[in-house]
A and B are shown apart, each in its own frame.
Chain A
Amino acid sequence: MLDLACSDGRVKQGQTLEDSPLAIRGLTVSYGQKPAVFSVDMTVEAGKMTAIIGPNGAGKSTMLKAALGIVPPVSGQVQVFGKTLDAQRARIAYVPQRASVDWDFPTRVIDVVLMGLYRELGLLGRLRAKHRAKAIECLDRVGMGDFASRQIGQLSGGQQQRVFLARALAQGADLYLLDEPFAGVDAATEKAIITVLKSLRAAGKTVVVVHHDLATVAEYFDNVFLINTRKVAEGTVSEAFTSETLQAAYGGRLATAQVDKLALAMG
């Protein structure tokens, strides 16, 4: 049963463009003259967890950043919940890659989470007990409640990732976009993060994750989006995460045996 946008851009019933939390059309992003993402369409399904998968340098993160206006696209449109990106900023929570910031920055764990409340606080709003309580509550959800007053430089990689997730939770968004949240984290953190993401899905939120670990795709996600500069496949895990699509996305970089094993594991 197909109920998703097909590769030719057709949109099947139950999933109109207006409903989609994130709809991308004809997106091209380029660093210099070499496109990192070329003419990509993506229609994220509401209330599901979607993995963006592809080899290194395939444009996974770049696509996400362009969709959020962090890097300027050469061409393409982005719609968020049927409206323009800027009209819906408040409904989006973005979790950047851990390595994108300097962890020696003078700030405490709770201050990072309070950045998630930036909109609520405004320019001059006083920081009140309720804001702190909200931040602590978000830290508790990722198992970091006891670390609130630690300096962020003292955290392990997994803990840093959890703090970033807590900051996104504080926003109370409807669409969560995470860039490689499982890269270089310990097993306990991976479990904690996936638990939180599943609870978001259970609450009707939409989650999109740039993911690199093919072995966990079927276990964690509902939908996949395969990209290698161009879109390779999009759909449910059973439709779009097959040995053919993987071969198409990864080419020689993924040994055939590995693809077969993965396909087997998915049944």
Chain B
Amino acid sequence: MLIDALLLQLGYNATLVAIGATLLGISAGVTGTFLFLRKRALVSDAISHATLPGVCLAFILMASFGGDGRNLIGLLLGSALSATAGLWCLNWLTRNTRLAEDAAIGSVLSVFFGFGIVLLTVIQTMGVGRQAGLEGFLLGSTAGMLWADAMVIAVGGAVTLLLILLIRRPMTLVAFDPEYAAARGLPVSKIDMAMMGLVMAVTVVGLKIVGLILIVALLIIPAVTARFWTERSDHVVLLAGLAGGVSAYVGAALSASAPNLPTGPIIVLMSFALFMISLLFAPNRGVLAAILRHFKFQRRVHLRQGLLALAQGQPIYENLTLRLLRKGGLVRADGVATDKGKACAAKALRDEHRWAVVRSDQTHEAAAALYDGLRKIESVLTQDQIAEIDRRIGGPQEVPA
């Protein structure tokens, strides 16, 4: 079943949903990255919750004028208008009051959402026909998705991506260094508004599939996932689009492969799976990589300390140190240094003396700054510089091999 679903063999509706979801996932991942880079990820939560009153008011308006209350375009327009109102409130609160942005987000989000729920209840008692589908906007509902719905998502997603292509440079510049951007004459607040507008577009377009409560996951998780794998903002954007697209596609297929699996939440769980994989296994920023790095560093420290202790004839008490020395063939099982161990220890001690000279000499200031107890002196100074230092220390010119 799952294979069939992945190959789009599960019928018309499932195929429409899979394609629509994938497009949404890509545009949400790409758009959300800029929000994430600007450190305003939570604003998307306020935007999405602020769509609900608009959806309900649009329904009431359309139904009371005798039209189809569930016309998607009409509902989306309504949601966009109330999201704009929410965004405006948010900006006004942060700019003109002492409220911090997080508090303002909390207030706007809950008030708009509460108002929306009230309207939703009113609608249910209104007795206007065919209102049943509106709750679907909360968590998404793909069961009755139409060709036209998929087209709305496709066109909305494509336009969003095009606009992002157009203003990606100013958005990146503003995200990294807003003061510098302002000094260069970039309209920082307009660029921020444009970014929020794009987020709103994705939110509105995604209401049908993942719903307003979970859309924030599609905007943020792909960006956070992508950040684990790269140190370049343009690559974060592309990878986030990829992660969003893949999790949406697989999630949609998965939910189609068995009865009663909700599409939106499954998509969110899929993107969470990608996030977990990245968190654990990403090469540089991942948790495992950090643990490995720490152990490697710890062994280097122990080995170095062990060698210095050997050279100075001090006893070694730490088991890890002894084990590392034995493994390297530097000490025998009874803890006595081997010939190789003696040579390495002498070299370590000599390097320590050399470093002492380097650190006390003004002319070696740049090299001295690199001292951390572990760095090989050969990686910092040239052979003739080391020879010069050795002349000052006195004693043998060459370390006995």
Contact = CB atoms under 8 A, between A and B. Distances in A.
Contacts of A68: 182-183
A108 B232 contact: yes
A157 B166 CA distance: 33
B115 to A, nearest CB: 32
Contact of A187 (B170, B173, B185, B365): B365
A232 to B, nearest CB: 25
Interface in B124-170: 165-167, 169-170
Interface in B23-40: 37, 39
A143 B288 CA distance: 35
Interface stretch (A3-11, A16-24, A115-123, A208-216): A115-123
Interface in B201-234: 227, 230-233
B233 A107 contact: yes
Contact of B230 (A89, A105, A106): A106
Interface in A66-89: 68-70, 86, 89
A1 interface: no
B297 interface: no
Given A65-B179, A68-B182, A107 B369 contact: no
Most chain A CB within 10 A, of B165, B179, B180, B182, is at: B180
Given A115-B173, A115-B176, A188-B365, A108 B183 contact: no
B236 interface: yes
B232 A107 contact: yes
Contacts of B233: 105-107, 111
A107 B184 contact: no
Given A96-B179, A188-B365, A123 B173 contact: no
Contacts of B176: 101-102, 105, 107, 112, 115
A239 interface: no
B366 interface: yes
Contact of A106 (B170, B183, B232): B232
A106 B34 CA distance: 12
Contacts of A153: 231
B232 A101 contact: no
B183 A70 contact: yes
A151 B39 contact: no
Nearest to B39: A102
B378 interface: no
Contacts of B318: none
Interface residues of A, number: 31
B398 interface: no
B366 A188 contact: yes
B384 interface: no
A140 interface: no
B180 A94 contact: yes
B231 A107 contact: yes
Dominant SS at the B interface? Answer: helix
A111 B170 CA distance: 13
B366 to A, nearest CB: 6
Given A65-B179, A86-B185, A100-B179, A105 B166 contact: no
Contact of A119 (B180, B184, B227): B184
A85 to B, nearest CB: 8
A118 B171 CA distance: 12
A48 to B, nearest CB: 21
Interface in B20-58: 37, 39
Contacts of A207: none
Contacts of A121: 169
Contacts of A124: 165-166
Q: How large is the interface on B (under 10, 10 to 19, 20 to 34, 35 or more residues)?
A: 20 to 34
Interface string A168-193: 00000000010000000011100000
A246 interface: no
Contacts of B37: 105-106
A118 B182 contact: no
Contacts of B372: none
Contacts of B184: 89, 94, 118-119
Contact of B183 (A96, A102, A186, A187): A96
A68 B165 CA distance: 28
Nearest to B167: A123
B400 to A, nearest CB: 35
A115 B179 contact: no
Contacts of B231: 106-108, 151, 153
Contacts of B169: 118, 121, 123
B177 interface: yes
A69 B182 contact: yes
Contact of A70 (B182, B232, B236): B182
A139 interface: no
A190 to B, nearest CB: 12
Contacts of A70: 179, 182-183
Most chain A CB within 10 A, of B37, B165, B179, is at: B179
A89 B182 CA distance: 10
A92 interface: yes
Contacts of B165: 124
A220 to B, nearest CB: 20
A109 B94 CA distance: 33
Contacts of B185: 69, 86, 89
A121 B227 CA distance: 25
A258 to B, nearest CB: 26
A118 B180 CA distance: 11
Contacts of B173: 115, 118
Contacts of A101: 176-177
6 contacts: A86-B185, A105-B176, A106-B230, A106-B233, A123-B170, A124-B166
Interface of B: 37, 39, 165-167, 169-170, 173, 175-177, 179-180, 182-185, 227, 230-233, 235-236, 365-366, 369
Leading 10 A-B pairs by shortest Cβ distance: A94-B183, A89-B185, A151-B231, A70-B182, A68-B183, A96-B179, A101-B177, A106-B233, A105-B176, A106-B231
